[in-house]
Structure 1
Amino acid sequence: MTIKRLVAAMLLASASSSVLAEESFTVQDIQVEGLQRVALGAALNNLPFNVGDTITEFNLSRSIRTLYAAGHFDDIKVFRDGNTVIYRLRERPTINAIEFDGNKDIKEDQLTESLSGNKVEVGEPLDKTILKSIENGLTEFYHGVGKYQAKVDIEVTYLPRNRVNLKIKFEEGDPASVRQINIVGNKLFSDEELLQDIESKQDLPWWRFMSSDRYQKQTLQGDIEKINSYYLDRGYLRFKVDSEQVSVSPDKESVYVTLNVTEGEKYTIKGVKFVGDLIGQEDFITKIMPLKEGQLYNGALVTYTEESIAKLLARFGYANSKVRTIPQINDDTKEVELTISVDPGKRVYVRRIDMKGNATTKDEVLRRELRQMEGAWLSNDALELSKNRIQRLPYMESVEFETLPVAGEDDLIDVAFTVKEQPSGSFNAGISYGNYMGLSFQIGVQQENFFGTGNSAGISLNTNKYQKSISMTYTDPYFTLDGVSLGGQVFYSDVDYSSASSNLEAYNQTRYGFGANVGYPINEYNRLNFGANYVVNKINSINEYDQLRHFRAVLLDAQNPDGGYHFTNYELTAGWVRSTLNRGLFPTAGHYLGASIKASTPNSDLQFFKTSFEARNYIPLSNDHAWSFLSKIELGYGNGYGDKNGYDYTLPFIENYYAGGQNLRGFESRIIGPHAIYRYADSVPGLPGSGTGAGSYPSGPENDSYQVSQRSIGGNALAVLTLELITPTPFLSDDYRNSVRTSLFVDAGNVWDTEFDINRYNGLRQIQTSQQQPQLIDYSDAGLFRATAGVSLQWISPMGPLTFSLAKIIKKQEGDLQENFSFNIGTTF
């Protein structure tokens, strides 16, 4: 038997050698036909043999597969003419253009990126075999977002020189709505309890048009996780969703979702222990850990514990730590013992920090805000703090960072900060002539990032018929390396308020002076500021209204009653600021607190103080901060101290608080608050027959009359409250979200005079020469508040911040003037 097998094997080997010998031949020439775009050399390089090689028919068939794999040809045929091999090829057409038609749910850049991943792009050869898979993939995408009526068709148009145009036509159709969600197997909690917090809504009534019941596969998966978490957070450790079914109605307009669940029973925590390396922080972790023996198992607390430990380890440079909880479940006692495994990994250090995107701002301006240092271990807290500090700069729109591994090193990373700058100042210039203002010239520049240094600088020059002014300011926020700031200002103005368009009482004022300020950082969020100013004021041609009597008594020269008011003040300022805002302009999270006091020194001509307080709190209402809620309060109070010649000092009227316009939108600028009261002495005719003519004599003060002006003089106390809902701006791309803000607001507040005494005018006759003149009200009453509501649009434009407001007055007082639409420059919050 063995001899027979050996003989058979020898005969088979002999036959095989004979066949191979017959099929083998030596290639004398290779000819390629049909090439247009592909070079001959490129085609020959893909062949597995060359001229002079001895090959078989098997080599020829394999060469066809090799040429197909190169991706350049639609059809390949090979022939043998003696010892010459002939290839006849038909090249794949080149894609000349790709057009999209009818796509709304998928953006063109997303489609282009997806097609490029399949090597379908302009200039590349077209593989028609993958077009069907692309159609099917896009259709599946639409099914995943609930559009079961969607159709995708790729139209191929052939052009000369073996080129094609591709047109991908979309018929998206309407999304299917969730008609009903059924949960089968739940006994402990009702469907309403389980479905109240999920995103997939079912069969919404027409009046809930702001909500959507559109079916989306990804949304449903997220909702299943929420239901799972609902049970796990209440101790049901064995809960599971056994299956899910999504049924589509015949018209493909509705879907029905059914979830089959097993609830299980409650489990309590028997104990918690740690394994691994806690880097010496065992005691601290044990104290802050919310999981305790005997309490009900809570999946959210387990996740929170893992994240807290990982975050703690990251503070010490262990950025790649792994923390996981291993449950040991006892189904008999319904208890679970938790073992928290901690693997900190290697401590990671920062090799280099790079700055990108800062075309104007110098690197050093950004680097001085960093709290993550090069060469130090990586700290996520330090990185986040660095990001927030850079983002609080008023010339930064957005800041992001990423950590990049260093090749060949598992304990080193690089950090790349990418910033997006925004306009950091305002500019205005112009020359004009008019009958009212005469020749007018103005120029002004305010820059918060002067030549990219991070310093603040401003200059303003304005001259016209009623105003001449110039001012210069400069502040270096990092005068010292540890963040001590230094700044100064010089100013001069000469204004005739009788000609200026304002709601103030008329007077002429010349004011000039200079000052300096210095700021000290206390910590990352708190700062102290101090300043000193020298100010000279000259006021003439003022209408002497009644509220000026104290001011007049302490300043007016009895020997020169028409000389006006000249006074020099030496002012000291102090302030405190606390800010945790996430951005310098248009913040969406965090709070701001600011308090300040300004007081003149006892050797000044006027002795007064002025205080202010502002608080802003931003609460994000969505994860992406597109929706946010702002509450703001602004308080102010000022008065005089000391006395002169028996008269108490009061707050100078030029230091009064005003409201209306920017802080009480819907009212005219600075119209809110006390109005000027002009008091006139009554008179009686001369004695009849006295020969003295028709002279007159002043009557007693109890017979005086008074008139209330339409113009405001402000007050020494202010309180304004703002509630604002920040919303996404309609019809605006997300790319501009940080430079344009839309909001709905309610403003309420008042300005009053604590020194005003309405009893001075009891029994006196009020004169009204027109219907526009208001009635007298108690200007010392803090309760005479005003309120408005409306919508606001703010834009950080290249010319500076612009604010547009449309408001409706809810509550007003006597003498208030409304301004439904307003436009302001230079104010955002």
Structure 2
Amino acid sequence: MHPNEVEAVPKLIKRRIPRYAGALSLLLLASFWAGTASAQFRIADIRVEGLQRVSAGTVFSYLPVQIDDTVADDVTADIIRSLYATGFFDDVKVERDANVLVIWVRERPAVAQIDIVGNKSIKTEDLEEGLKEIGLAEGRVFNRSVLDRIEQELRRQYFAAGKYGMDVESTVSPLERNRVAVRIQVTEGLTARLKQVNIIGNKDFKEKTLLKQFKLGPTNWSSFYSKNDRYAKEKLAGDLEALRSFYLDRGYINFQITSTQVTISPDKNDIYVTIGIDEGEVFHVSDIRLAGDPSVPVEQLFPLIQMQRGTVFSRKAASESAERISDLLGNEGYAFANVNTVPEVDAENKTVAVTFFVDPGKRVYVRRVNMRGNTRTRDEVLRREMRQLETAWFSADRVEQSRERLKRLGFFDDVTVETPAVPGSPDLVDVDVTVKEKPSGNLLAGVGYSQSDGILFNTSISQNNFLGTGKQVSFAFNASSGNQLYQLAYTNPYYTVDGISRGFNLMYQTTNYDDTIGADYSTDVGLAGVNFGLPISDTSRAGFGARYQYTNFFAGDYSALAKDFVAQNGTEYNDFFLSASYTKDSRDSAVFPTKGTLQSLYGEVAVPGSDLEFYRITYRGRQYIPLTQRFTFALRAEFGYGGGYGDTSAMPFFNNFYAGGPGSVRGWEAYSLGPRETTQENDPVGGNMKLTGSVELFAPPPVGGKFADTLRLGAFFDFGNVWWTEPSDLVAPTGFDLGELRYSAGLSLAWLSPVGALSLSFAYPINPQSGDDTQVFQFSFGQNF
């Protein structure tokens, strides 16, 4: 054939790969061009036809050829493959017009609109964000495979939430200018509930006992809160592991879960779980051994092994024993100690010999303690809290104690401690302490309200870390309808290098008891004092103080008790006090604690020679016990006693203890419990002896989210009262009688709201007496609680 004839044949031949037929088209093109593979031409120009939104420059950037390239005709397949790979096109055709390469394309449509309807469990905003991450969003190129993936993911999420009857249907509607509208219709259906859990194969334990190990279970009265009836594969796996641990901790070392069947009812609303088990037989401990090189006296290690020969083998006891040994070695400087439990099973005799293999490694020392992030706080303020010292051997306990002490300072939002190994020195580590400082100075002004004190005005200027030295300086002004307080205080927590603190306090306070407890008298009090604190341990301190106090007492016209006191003691008193205290605080948090103890014992006495000679002793205690991850059991108790000596027959009644109201015995009006004047006014006067307490169960709200850390619900039982133990004709009743205790029960709520602290309670007085002032609903806002 003449060369010109050969050239004329492919002039206007079109190559095309239709949608979903790319592989077949490439095969046909390769076959067609096999006979003309040797034909070549130089590309004089490239023309792209069919573009709407995609620019020609974008197409050119993906082409494997360019102008002036000399190519064979079989390059067509590479061009089509490259353009399809961009994801922009539904169809691509390649032509040759003389020496011009012509590329015809049909663009994929753009997504103009996305509508999601029918979804209630998952917010539309969250769904749209998820679609965008996968690749489906308004303005992007539409890809059907992406939409299929989205449907599958939606089904997975709803199935995980227990909605097995859900359905999702997508509709793609074409619009003008090569655009489409996507509509995703979700039919959620009902949440499937766990109807029944059955365990078969158990012989030594009742099914009821085994099911107590499960978090999953049929619907009960608490399911709305615990959601125990919401089936999830992950929850079931956790319950099966709990069941396995139950048996292994009781000596059934050959225990097996033989089958797990999960079935769903035809209407997809009920789920049934059947678990088959093989218990095996109980094994006992035949021997306990220590092997390896413990590097510490064996006498210190054996008491840490909570297992005995002849007892039932327990995997939990073995692992906890190994952990205790590892912790001891870690505190002795062997930071990389490894303790392995090696059981030797005697199947014939049903016994297990347990060997604890100890590999302590090298003793590790601390090279340097590095402080980072403290731009305002001086290094010495941090270092004096450190219990892990440089050049000493490493102790995990001392490192943790150091971190906790730094957090208790209150200067930092976050404290992290890392212990990286020193390169080239396997027996050395550094302790890197990184802190995130928070503003230590506060200028606060606020308004609050409580039923007991009325409107409260609070203003304070404080600097807890004055000039980065850790010293505390503060000025406070607080006012309510019955009280006004002005206070200036200074404390140096490290007056000595041993951690002895010293503080000074100046205060002036006026109190109108008519506005607080309804009594017809008032006081003006000014004081100046100094105090010292002595650390006893990381969680406890002893305190000592001395102060001078001036009191001006004003008796009203209707209080016989006040007039009688003035007749005996006058109206102005100059007193000198000595005080001592003991405080222990091991709580995990000052706000909403879940474990630990807060105890304080405080005593003060007006020294002989004072105008009023008396003493007061007060004990306050709180104990927090975590019952579960959510529930905390709290115990509160307070006891106070005061009396006079020398020329003062009794403690001044305006220094009495009071009970009733929030923080005391809820269900009674604040300060209203106890003895009252025998005059017609019948005003409460408190008592020189006080006993109050509470038992309370706390939990975060079931809604969770941001309220989990700022809201706490409680159910409580309160008790308490005050007594006037000295005989008096002006007060009734007198004497001590436990039968006068008042009791109440109810519900409480505490919320750290963005605009202030709020606490409220609904209390039912169990044994109110005639003349008591009860109050079922009580609240305060803008105060600490």
| Structure 2 residue 460 is matched with structure 1 residue 445 | yes
Provide the identity percentage: 34
Contact 2:442/2:460 (8 A) holds in 1: no
State the match for 1:434 in structure 2. Answer: none
Amino acid at match of 2:617: T
- Structure 2 CA distance, aligned partners of 1:823 and 1:383? 42
In the superposition, relative to structure 1, how do residues 603 and 229 fare at CA in structure 2: closer, same or farther (>3 Å)? Answer: same
In the superposition, relative to structure 1, how do residues 586 and 189 fare at CA in structure 2: closer, same or farther (>3 Å)? Answer: closer
Could you tell me how far 1:139 is from its partner in structure 2? 1.2
State the match for 2:656 in structure 1. Answer: 656
For residue 289 of structure 1, the aligned residue among 277, 281, 305 is 305
State the match for 2:579 in structure 1. Answer: 573
In the superposition, relative to structure 1, how do residues 516 and 24 fare at CA in structure 2: closer, same or farther (>3 Å)? Answer: farther
Amino acid at match of 2:658: Y
For residue 186 of structure 2, the aligned residue among 170, 174, 178 is 170
State the match for 1:615 in structure 2. Answer: 621
Amino acid at match of 2:203: K
Could you tell me how far 1:52 is from its partner in structure 2? 5.2
- Structure 2 CA distance, aligned partners of 1:111 and 1:584? 39
- Structure 2 CA distance, aligned partners of 1:108 and 1:400? 38
Could you tell me how far 1:601 is from its partner in structure 2? 1.1
Normalising by the residue count of structure 1, what TM-score does the alignment of the two structures yield?
A: 0.76
| Structure 2 residue 685 is matched with structure 1 residue 713 | yes
Q: RMSD of aligned C-alpha atoms?
A: 4.6
State the match for 1:428 in structure 2. Answer: 446
SS class of match (2:237): helix
In the superposition, relative to structure 1, how do residues 134 and 353 fare at CA in structure 2: closer, same or farther (>3 Å)? Answer: farther
For residue 276 of structure 2, the aligned residue among 244, 260, 268 is 260
State the match for 2:744 in structure 1. Answer: 788
Could you tell me how far 1:61 is from its partner in structure 2? 2.9
In the superposition, relative to structure 1, how do residues 208 and 368 fare at CA in structure 2: closer, same or farther (>3 Å)? Answer: same
| Structure 2 residue 504 is matched with structure 1 residue 488 | yes
Contact 2:447/2:782 (8 A) holds in 1: no
SS class of match (2:683): strand
In the superposition, relative to structure 1, how do residues 348 and 106 fare at CA in structure 2: closer, same or farther (>3 Å)? Answer: farther
In the superposition, relative to structure 1, how do residues 515 and 252 fare at CA in structure 2: closer, same or farther (>3 Å)? Answer: same
Amino acid at match of 2:476: I
State the match for 2:668 in structure 1. Answer: 667
Normalising by the residue count of structure 2, what TM-score does the alignment of the two structures yield?
A: 0.80
Amino acid at match of 2:265: S
Contact 2:621/2:638 (8 A) holds in 1: yes
Contact 1:463/1:469 (8 A) holds in 2: no
- Structure 2 CA distance, aligned partners of 1:477 and 1:734? 38
- Structure 1 CA distance, aligned partners of 2:401 and 2:161? 38
**1:732-811 pair list within 5 angstroms:** 733-756=704-727, 776-797=732-753, 800-811=756-767
State the match for 1:690 in structure 2. Answer: none
In the superposition, relative to structure 1, how do residues 318 and 175 fare at CA in structure 2: closer, same or farther (>3 Å)? Answer: farther
- Structure 1 CA distance, aligned partners of 2:112 and 2:408? 48
Could you tell me how far 1:590 is from its partner in structure 2? 0.9
For residue 458 of structure 1, the aligned residue among 471, 475, 493 is 475
Q: Which whole-Å deviations, capped at 9, do the CAs of 1:524-553 have from their partners, x for residues lacking one?
A: 101122222111112233458676799557
Could you tell me how far 1:671 is from its partner in structure 2? 1.2
| Structure 2 residue 638 is matched with structure 1 residue 639 | no
In the superposition, relative to structure 1, how do residues 424 and 56 fare at CA in structure 2: closer, same or farther (>3 Å)? Answer: farther
- Structure 2 CA distance, aligned partners of 1:321 and 1:673? 61
| Structure 2 residue 588 is matched with structure 1 residue 582 | yes
- Structure 1 CA distance, aligned partners of 2:92 and 2:356? 62
Contact 2:676/2:733 (8 A) holds in 1: no
**1:322-721 pair list within 5 angstroms:** 324-340=340-356, 381-382=397-398, 384-385=400-401, 388-389=404-405, 392=408, 401=416, 427-428=445-446, 444-445=459-460, 447=462, 449=464, 455=472, 457-460=474-477, 470-477=486-493, 483-495=499-511, 497=513, 500-542=514-556, 551=565, 555=569, 564-623=570-629, 626-641=630-645, 643-644=646-647, 649-662=649-662, 663-677=664-678, 707=679, 709-721=681-693
Q: Which whole-Å deviations, capped at 9, do the CAs of 1:649-689 have from their partners, x for residues lacking one?
A: 32111211011223122222211122123xxxxxxxxxxxx
SS class of match (2:311): coil
- Structure 2 CA distance, aligned partners of 1:20 and 1:81? 16
- Structure 2 CA distance, aligned partners of 1:488 and 1:405? 43
State the match for 2:248 in structure 1. Answer: 232
Could you tell me how far 1:369 is from its partner in structure 2? 5.6
Contact 1:64/1:77 (8 A) holds in 2: yes
Aligned length: 740
Could you tell me how far 1:111 is from its partner in structure 2? 5.0
Q: Which whole-Å deviations, capped at 9, do the CAs of 1:348-367 have from their partners, x for residues lacking one?
A: 979866569x9x99999888
In the alignment, structure 2 segments of 5+ residues that lack a partner are 1-32, 449-453
- Structure 1 CA distance, aligned partners of 2:102 and 2:389? 67
Could you tell me how far 1:710 is from its partner in structure 2? 2.0
In the superposition, relative to structure 1, how do residues 544 and 716 fare at CA in structure 2: closer, same or farther (>3 Å)? Answer: farther
In the superposition, relative to structure 1, how do residues 420 and 365 fare at CA in structure 2: closer, same or farther (>3 Å)? Answer: same
State the match for 2:780 in structure 1. Answer: 824
Could you tell me how far 1:252 is from its partner in structure 2? 0.9
State the match for 1:686 in structure 2. Answer: none
SS class of match (1:22): coil
Contact 1:325/1:341 (8 A) holds in 2: yes
Q: Which whole-Å deviations, capped at 9, do the CAs of 1:588-640 have from their partners, x for residues lacking one?
A: 211111101111111211111111101101112322xx321211001101111
Contact 1:674/1:779 (8 A) holds in 2: no
State the match for 2:21 in structure 1. Answer: none
In the superposition, relative to structure 1, how do residues 316 and 748 fare at CA in structure 2: closer, same or farther (>3 Å)? Answer: same
Contact 2:403/2:417 (8 A) holds in 1: no
SS class of match (1:639): strand
- Structure 2 CA distance, aligned partners of 1:320 and 1:156? 61
State the match for 1:768 in structure 2. Answer: none
SS class of match (1:671): coil
Could you tell me how far 1:68 is from its partner in structure 2? 4.2
Amino acid at match of 2:477: S
Amino acid at match of 1:541: A
In the superposition, relative to structure 1, how do residues 507 and 193 fare at CA in structure 2: closer, same or farther (>3 Å)? Answer: closer
In the superposition, relative to structure 1, how do residues 382 and 98 fare at CA in structure 2: closer, same or farther (>3 Å)? Answer: farther
Contact 1:586/1:828 (8 A) holds in 2: no
In the superposition, relative to structure 1, how do residues 366 and 738 fare at CA in structure 2: closer, same or farther (>3 Å)? Answer: farther
Contact 2:552/2:571 (8 A) holds in 1: yes
In the superposition, relative to structure 1, how do residues 461 and 216 fare at CA in structure 2: closer, same or farther (>3 Å)? Answer: closer
- Structure 2 CA distance, aligned partners of 1:652 and 1:372? 50
- Structure 2 CA distance, aligned partners of 1:780 and 1:361? 53
Could you tell me how far 1:43 is from its partner in structure 2? 4.4
- Structure 1 CA distance, aligned partners of 2:594 and 2:160? 33
Moved more, 517-526 or 99-108: 99-108
In the superposition, relative to structure 1, how do residues 580 and 443 fare at CA in structure 2: closer, same or farther (>3 Å)? Answer: closer
Could you tell me how far 1:800 is from its partner in structure 2? 4.7
State the match for 1:680 in structure 2. Answer: none
In the superposition, relative to structure 1, how do residues 294 and 392 fare at CA in structure 2: closer, same or farther (>3 Å)? Answer: same
- Structure 2 CA distance, aligned partners of 1:824 and 1:720? 20
Amino acid at match of 1:575: S
The structure, 1 or 2, with the larger RCO (C-alpha pairs under 8 Å, 6+ apart) is 1
